C-alpha cells in the first residue's frame, strides 16, 4: 500500500491543486475530541492532519500552541494515548496523519519502538522538531527502519548547503518555516516566500509545504501560488482554546477550516 502522504500529493498534483495541512495538539481538549475533529476535518476538505504530541517544553512553539500542549497534558494525554487515538481515527478515515513531536517523548517511549508502534497505529510520517539529520548519521539507533516519512524543517535562515543536506534526508514533503521565531499567527506573509521556495525546489522533487503564521484564506491563496501545501496551526488551535468546552466544538472548527481548505483548492 502506498504511503498516504505520497498518494495524497500525487492525487492533488494530478488535479493541479494544493494541500491544506491542519495542525492540532492531540488531546486538546481531550483525545475523544481529537478523534472527532479528525473525521470532521477530512469532510471539511483538510488533506493532511498534523497531530502534535504534547510535550512540557515545546521550544519551537508560540504561546498558543504551548498552552494547547499544557491543556493536552492536563487531560492525561500520553504518547501511547496519541497512538491509540490515531488507531481510532483509522476506524473510519484514511486521512494522512503526521505526528509533530519533540525527541523527548519518543526517546522515553523507545526510538525504534515508537516508530514501529506509530506505523502500526496508522501514522504516515513524523516531524521531529529537534532531531537534526547530523544526529541520524552519528547515532545508528536513530536510523528509522519503518515506512514512516521523515518530514524535515527548513528555516528562512538555513544556508544553501544545509538546505541540500536537509532535503536529501527528507521524505513525504519538506516543511518550510516561512518566518523566523516560533509558531503563531501573523498579519502578513513573508515577502521572500517565492524566492525561498524556489531555492528549496531546486534541491528536491518533494512537495513543499509552508507554515508558521498562516491564518486566513487570503494567506492560503498567497502561499499556494508558490508552494504545494500550506500548514495552518495556531489559528485553528486558538479556536479550540475558545470553544474547547462548547458542545458544538467540532461543528465550529469544521466551519473554520472549510474556507481554508477551499482557498487551497482555488
Q: What is the pLDDT of residue 29?
A: 97
Q: Where are the domains of the chain?
A: 4-264
The pLDDT tens digits for 148-169 are: 999 999 999 999 999 999 999 8
The pLDDT tens digits for 119-146 are: 999 999 999 999 888 887 777 777 767 8
Q: What is the pLDDT of residue 191?
A: 73
Identify whether the C-beta of residue 207 lies closer than 8 Å to the C-beta of residue 19. Answer: yes
> Strand order in 125-128's β-sheet?
149-150, 125-128, 97-101, 48-52, 19-25, 229-232, 208-211, 174-177, 152-154
Residue 187: pLDDT above 60? no
Percentage with pLDDT > 70 across the chain: 95
Residue 140: is it exposed, middle or buried by C-beta count within 10 angstroms (0-12/13-18/19+)?
exposed
Say how far apart CA 79 and CA 62 lie, in whole Å: 21
Q: What is the pTM of this model?
A: 0.94
Strand segments, DSSP code E, in the chain are 19-25, 48-52, 97-101, 125-128, 149-150, 152-154, 174-177, 208-211, 229-232
Q: Which residues are catalytic?
A: 50, 61
Residues 6+ apart with CB under 8 A from 246: 252
- Out of 42-56, 170-184, 205-219, 222-236, pick the least confident: 170-184
Strand segments, DSSP code E, in 53-133 are 97-101, 125-128
Q: Topology of domain 4-264, per CATH?
A: TIM Barrel (3.20.20)
Identify whether the C-beta of residue 62 lies closer than 8 Å to the C-beta of residue 35. Answer: no
Amino acid at each position: 500500500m502506498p504511503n498516504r502522504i505520497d498518494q495524497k500529493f500525487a492525487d492533488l498534483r494530478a488535479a493541479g491543486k494544493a494541500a491544506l495541512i491542519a495542525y492540532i495538539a492531540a488531546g486538546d481538549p481531550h483525545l475523544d475530541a481529537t478523534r472527532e475533529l479528525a473525521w470532521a476535518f477530512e469532510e471539511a476538505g483538510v488533506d493532511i492532519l498534523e497531530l502534535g504530541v504534547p510535550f512540557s517544553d515545546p521550544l519551537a512553539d508560540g504561546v498558543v500552541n504551548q498552552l494547547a500542549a499544557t491543556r493536552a497534558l492536563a487531560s492525561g494525554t500520553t504518547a501511547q494515548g496519541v497512538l491509540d487515538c490515531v488507531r481510532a481515527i483509522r476506524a473510519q478515515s484514511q486521512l494522512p496523519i503526521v505526528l509533530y513531536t519533540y525527541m523527548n517523548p519518543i526517546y522515553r517511549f523507545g526510538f525504534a519502538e515508537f516508530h514501529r508502534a506509530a506505523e502500526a497505529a496508522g501514522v504516515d510520517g513524523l516531524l521531529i522538531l529537534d532531531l537534526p539529520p547530523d544526529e541520524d548519521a552519528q547515532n545508528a539507533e536513530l536510523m528509522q527502519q519503518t515506512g514512516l516519512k521523515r518530514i524535515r524543517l527548513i528555516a528562512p535562515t538555513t544556508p544553501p548547503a544545509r538546505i541540500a543536506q536537509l532535503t536529501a534526508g527528507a521524505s513525504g514533503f519538506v516543511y518550510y518555516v516561512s518566518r523566523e521565531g516560533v509558531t503563531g499567527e501573523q498579519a502578513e506573509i513573508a515577502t521572500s516566500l517565492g524566492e525561498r521556495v524556489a531555492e528549496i525546489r531546486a534541491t528536491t522533487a518533494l512537495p513543499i509545504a509552508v507554515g508558521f503564521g498562516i491564518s486566513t484564506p487570503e494567506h492560503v491563496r498567497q502561499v499556494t501560488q508558490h508552494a504545494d501545501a500550506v500548514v495552518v496551526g495556531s489559528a485553528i488551535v486558538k479556536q479550540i482554546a475558545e470553544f474547547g468546552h462548547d458542545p458544538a466544538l467540532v461543528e465550529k472548527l469544521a466551519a473554520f477550516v472549510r474556507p481554508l481548505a477551499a482557498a487551497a483548492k482555488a
